[in-house]
Amino acid sequence: MPRQARLDAAGTVHHVIARGIERCTIFRDNDDRRRFTDRLGELSHATGTALYAWALLPNHFHLLLRSGPQGLSCFMRRLMTGYAITFNRKYRRSGHLFQNRFTSIVCDEEPYFLELVRYIHLNPLRAHVVERLEGLDFYRWSSHRVLVGRAANSWQDCDYVLSWFGRTKKAATMAYRKFLAAGLAEGKRTDLDGGGLMRSLGGPAERGKDRVFADERVLGTGEFVRELLGGADERRRHCLSILKRMETMKRMIAERCKTEGIELVAVTAGSRAAPIPRLRMELASQLAKELGVSYAEIARHLGVSTSAITKMLSRRQKKSS
């Protein structure tokens, strides 16, 4: 059966997995891992790719990212080809280093983003590269260490990930740690490794009177799959609109903070010092009305919870009525 075309458009969130050919070791020492992560960081900046989570294992790696304007394939080709060339030169080998093409699964953010962050970060533990949960803090080759403040990477978007967990960095880090520990009992999540329910269905399927849209390249609800598979042009427009909306939100928040003479980090980190709550409420109202952004997405950009956004907009509406 011929393989399906990759779903690749700017602004799409992907879970990417690449393995060594015949399960061979692709990272033999720390110098290899350093070369790979250096290349990962350089390319993320060069291509506008947002990296949310990653983990290196001896014979494969995982990435959770949002593709930049050039799409995923360009980014991955430059990452894997460049690394394979230096690897082969170093070890005087020839031929392919990676098994076939990489696997990429498009992800519906709201239900799956956090699950994938946890799944990727627990991989070194499940592969017995790290023996205990506490050991992940000292494992240099995953993004977990950066999220909890044990290391720094300018190319890793920690703020976006932590914004899903809490209003302040301290609270978010604590919530993230609890969430990570709770995942230990789940064992290997094969649903997250290969498309979840949508992969198990394998295509549009009949379920009673309802038609369930499914695709092995997608991790998401039937409605998400339906929208994503609406055609290449429609998919490209959909993904570009997401990317444009995120950039517009960031610009609007930054410009308003500059006008008000307020530090951007104070607004996005959940500060309650006056006049930040007022500014946050005005921004939330503006983003909801002008961009039609969900309360959850507004909350992540303004450093507060979704319920806080709901309450402040409800109060504002009552005052204006």
- Whole-structure pTM over 0.85, yes or no? no
Position 306 scores a pLDDT of 73
Q: How many CB atoms lie within 10 A of CB 102?
A: 21
pLDDT above 90 for 2? no
pLDDT above 70 for 225? no
What does the mean pLDDT of the chain come to? 81
CA 174 – CA 165 distance, rounded (Å): 8
Give the pair of three-digit tokens for residue 139.
Answer: 């494992």
Position 47 scores a pLDDT of 87
Q: How many CB atoms lie within 10 A of CB 7?
A: 19
Phi, psi of 17 (to 5 degrees): -130, 130
Tens-digit pLDDT profile for residues 177-222: 999 999 988 766 555 544 443 343 344 444 444 444 444 556 655 5
Domains of the chain in sequence order: 13-192 (3.30.70.1290), 233-320 (no CATH)
What is the rounded end-to-end Cα distance, in angstroms, of the chain?
Answer: 61
pLDDT band at 263 (very low <50, low <70, confident <90, very high): confident
Reading across the β-sheet that carries 218-219, which strands appear in turn? Answer: 50-57, 60-66, 13-19, 103-107, 218-219
Tens-digit pLDDT profile for residues 132-188: 999 999 999 999 999 999 998 888 988 889 888 887 788 899 999 999 999 988 766
More confidently predicted of 293 and 62: 62
Position 201 scores a pLDDT of 39
**Coil, strand, or helix at residue 68?**
coil
Q: Alpha helices, DSSP H only, in the chain?
A: 30-47, 72-91, 109-126, 144-147, 158-162, 169-182, 190-193, 196-201, 222-228, 232-260, 264-268, 276-291, 295-302, 306-320
pLDDT above 50 for 229? yes
Give the pair of three-digit tokens for residue 268.
Answer: 């996005």
pLDDT above 70 for 227? no
35, 29, 113: which is closest to 43 by C-alpha? 35
Mean pLDDT value across residues 101-123: 88
